Amino acid sequence: MKAAVHDRAGPPDVLVYRDVPAPAVAPDELLIAVEAIAIEGGDLINRRTATPPRPAWVPGYAASGTVVAVGAAVEDRQVGDRVTAFSLRGSHAELWAVPAVRTWHVPIGVDMAEAAALPIAFGTAHHCLFARAGLQRGESLLIQAAAGGVGLAAVQLAAQAGAIVLAVASGQHRIRGIRALGAYHVVDRSERDVVADVRRLTGQRGVDVIIDPVGSTLPASLAALAPEGRLVFVGNAGGGRLGVDLWSPMQSNQTLLGVFMGTMLERQAARATVDQMLKALAAGAIQVLIDRSFSLSEVAAAHEYAETAKPLGRVVMKP
């Protein structure tokens, strides 16, 4: 089969499109004929920074496709099922062996590219907003990196829950798109002081809740947070060391909540949430934005675009 592989960490051109052996299927796994691959933020970070554990490593967290083989221990999936999946490696390929517990049925009518991009983005956003931050109707919320997958999902879910959504992004195209999804106000970080604008918009109080997937923006997020507010930090898209002075948050009785989804999507509550989100997508209640599609053979260009072009939504690849 064809796949994208790399032997070392580095820029997008470390990825090579080549023939590799098809994966074996363990008893608890499915073999998926991949139809759409979502390039996730973690894919970019891992490619840049993590040395592959062995040569010809097939990366990739997320994809959708049709089940072509079922492991002996799997009882709730069958050949021919349309599924979307999340795992810690292997999605950048024509065939993907993935634990059945990390898959979801794709409803009839849902586009497979959108299905590939949904579980991580919407599963993460929902967990951050409601399971961790306990967001309530009428509360104010700030979303850093709102043009990314998690950010766009969080804007929609929070607005639909009755929160007052402030978002951070750059570029007029992205700002317009985020407003259309329900944001009350979008701060252009390339032109404005985010903290000053948030303080002005909240009467100098700050916001009740912040979702921060960037990491390097944590000091600014804390400065924009209201006393007794909740900050959820999820990921480190900005790179570098995560670190903040905790004296001020302690004095302000603020709560910092860390989220690392990892195997969280295997838990029943998170799995059920993704099922709900897929049904909402099928009903037109939410949107999964796809910025651009590439062929898997163009994997280096696809990663380069996802990393540098400031897309609005996910970049996908198709074998």
pLDDT in tens, 170-186: 999 999 999 999 999 99
Residues in contact with 171: Cβ distance below 8 Å, sequence separation at least 6, in sequence order:
147, 188, 190, 310
110-124 pLDDT tens trace: 999 999 999 999 999
pLDDT at 263 over 90: no
Q: What is the mean pLDDT of residues 297-308?
A: 97
Q: How confident is the model at residue 246 (pLDDT cuts 50, 70, 90)?
A: confident
Nearest Cα neighbor of 55 from 127, 3, 102, 95 is 3
Nearest Cα neighbor of 245 from 229, 228, 212, 223 is 223
Q: For residue 5, what pLDDT is reported? A: 98
28-63 pLDDT tens trace: 999 999 999 999 999 999 999 999 999 999 999 999
Q: For residue 238, what pLDDT is reported? A: 66
Average pLDDT value for the chain = 95
Nearest Cα neighbor of 17 from 28, 5, 27 is 5
- 271 versus 245: which is more confidently predicted? 271
Q: How confident is the model at residue 82 (pLDDT cuts 50, 70, 90)?
A: very high
Phi first, then psi: what are they for 46, rounded to 5°? -65, -40
Q: How confident is the model at residue 241 (pLDDT cuts 50, 70, 90)?
A: confident
Q: For residue 10, what pLDDT is reported? A: 97
Nearest Cα neighbor of 56 from 5, 1, 95 is 5
pLDDT at 242 over 80: no
pLDDT at 262 over 90: no
What is the amino acid identity at position 103?
A: T
Q: What is the mean pLDDT of residues 143-172?
A: 97
pTM of the model: 0.95
Q: Tell me the CATH architecture of domain 2-106+289-318.
A: Alpha-Beta Complex (3.90)
194-240 pLDDT tens trace: 999 999 999 999 999 999 999 889 999 999 999 999 999 998 776 66
Angle at 245 between CA 244 and CA 249, to 5 degrees: 100
CATH superfamily of 120-262: NAD(P)-binding Rossmann-like Domain (3.40.50.720)
CA–CA distance, 146 with 256 (Å, rounded to integer): 19
CA–CA distance, 151 with 122 (Å, rounded to integer): 9
Domain limits of the chain?
2-106+289-318, 120-262
CA–CA distance, 319 with 127 (Å, rounded to integer): 31
Q: For residue 253, what pLDDT is reported? A: 96
Q: For residue 243, what pLDDT is reported? A: 79
Nearest Cα neighbor of 287 from 152, 176, 120, 125 is 152
